[in-house]
Amino acid sequence: MKRKICVVTGTRAEFGLLKNVIRLIDENLNLQLQLVVTGMHLSPEFGLTYREIEDSNFKIDAEVEMLLSADTGPAVVKAMGLGLIGYSDTFKRLSPDLLVVLGDRFEVFSAVTAANILGIPIAHLHGGELTYGAFDDALRHSITKMAHLHFVANQQYQQRVIQLGEHPETVFNFGGLGIDAIKRVALIKRKDLEDILEIKFCKKNLLVTFHPITRESDAENIFQMHELLKALSELEDTFLLFTLPNADTMGRQFAELIQAFVETKPHSKVFASLGQQLYFSCLSQIDCVVGNSSSGLLEAPAFKVATVNIGDRQSGRVKSHSVIDCSAKRKEILKAIEISYSRNFQNNLRCTRANEEEDSTAEKIISIIASYPLSKLRKKFFYDLPN
């Protein structure tokens, strides 16, 4: 009898990392894929990215609507509650043998909470990481405590998951999924990319993604976004390609500020979502990633592209030498961008290896998911570190 593997995805970036895992589950004769789509995938505001999932020839087994038309803290909490209700009904109908989730989003947290109560074993990808500037940090570690199998990106994250009380036999360090995904995407050439996106690259080109810092006040968030836009407005001969922020608190306010900025800046364009192939193709053509997206830390180094990482949102993550940290102040942002253009930095960048991602990460994850005895996952015990 096939083992039913349920995968939940709620964001464009998360699906990009999960895509090969989903494909391998679907192709495995001993596994039955159950794909649950939620969150931003179902929102017109964020590009209805469930279409990208369908375009990848995956069958969506269930949709869990949970986003509200507001970006306040109470709206996120209510969305999590709606998610719990939706996942409860969905998991009851699908009756999966194992739930697979990635990362730290509140959409995923609700899914894992429901599965935990319903007695469904959970496999968690990319646990053990830190993002001090976001409440996602606490959600990620909470997901770890409810999960039964753990697939982490490096040894440091592996040790951290074990430190949280997870048995070493259930924590697998197969590397992250970022490089694994990049290797499987056919990149679009520069001229074709310009035609598809209806853009024109300039002498310098920046890809900008700036998410709200959910541990900061509303006033501080607005200040930081204004400082970023002020800095970008001073750049000459530069094309600015924006992607919109996630459905976090204040995400819609950020989106409105970006869209208003783009309307006044000739050499700029904003996209709700690019999709994996277009996004990676843009990464291959730009000079620098600017903002506070995890992509600047995970995928950009593989393209030998510099990242200006602004503020505290990604504080705590392991970073490549290609990442330049700076505060969210206009002068500091401009200084960091200038450094990224410098000859010394570019020479070092070309010599720097990409993130230490292992080959065949997805295949190794599937081998465990397909074979690990489910009977061992029914009960969890806290693993105390040796004295």
Whether 267 is in a domain gets the answer yes
Confidence class for position 140, pLDDT limits 50, 70, 90: very high
CA distance 7 to 366: 12
- Alpha carbons 11 and 109: distance in angstroms, whole number: 13
Share of residues in the chain with pLDDT > 90 (%)? 68
State the DSSP code for 267.
Answer: S
* N- to C-terminal Cα separation, the chain: 43
**Tens digits of residue pLDDT in 228-246:** 999 999 999 999 999 988 7
What domain count does the chain have? 2
Extract the tokens encoding 296. 């600047």
Does residue 129 fall inside a structural domain?
A: yes
74 or 206, higher pLDDT: 206
Q: Are 352 and 169 in contact (CB under 8 A)?
A: no
> What is the enclosing helix (H) or strand (E) of 102?
strand 98-102
Q: With 80 as the cut, is the pLDDT of residue 355 above it?
A: no
Distance CA 87, CA 122 (A): 14
65 three-class SS: coil
Strand, coil or helix: 3: strand
Q: Which of 267, 304, 308, 272 is nearest to 285 (CA)?
A: 304
Element (DSSP H or E) covering residue 298:
helix 295-298
Give yes or no for residue 358 having a pLDDT over 80. Answer: no
Residues 138 and 23 in one domain: yes
Over residues 73-113, the pLDDT tens digits come to 888 899 999 999 999 999 999 999 999 999 899 999 999 99
Going by C-alpha positions, the residue among 249, 243, 179, 237 that lies closest to residue 212 is: 249
Task: Report yes or no on 185 lying in a domain.
Answer: no
Q: 140 Cβ partners below 8 Å, 6+ apart?
A: 103, 104, 127, 129, 131
CATH number assigned to the domain comprising residue 212: 3.40.50.2000
* 140 shares its domain with 276: no
What is the domain range of residue 58?
Answer: 3-177+357-377
C-alpha to C-alpha distance for 65 and 72, rounded to whole angstroms: 18
Q: What would the two tokens of residue 306 be?
A: 């510099």
How high does pLDDT run on average in the chain? Answer: 91
What confidence tier does 16 reach under pLDDT thresholds 50, 70, 90? confident
Same domain for 51 and 108? Answer: yes
Query: In terms of domains, do 234 and 165 share one?
Result: no
DSSP letter for each residue of 232-261: HHT-SSEEEEEEPPPSSTTHHHHHHHHHHH
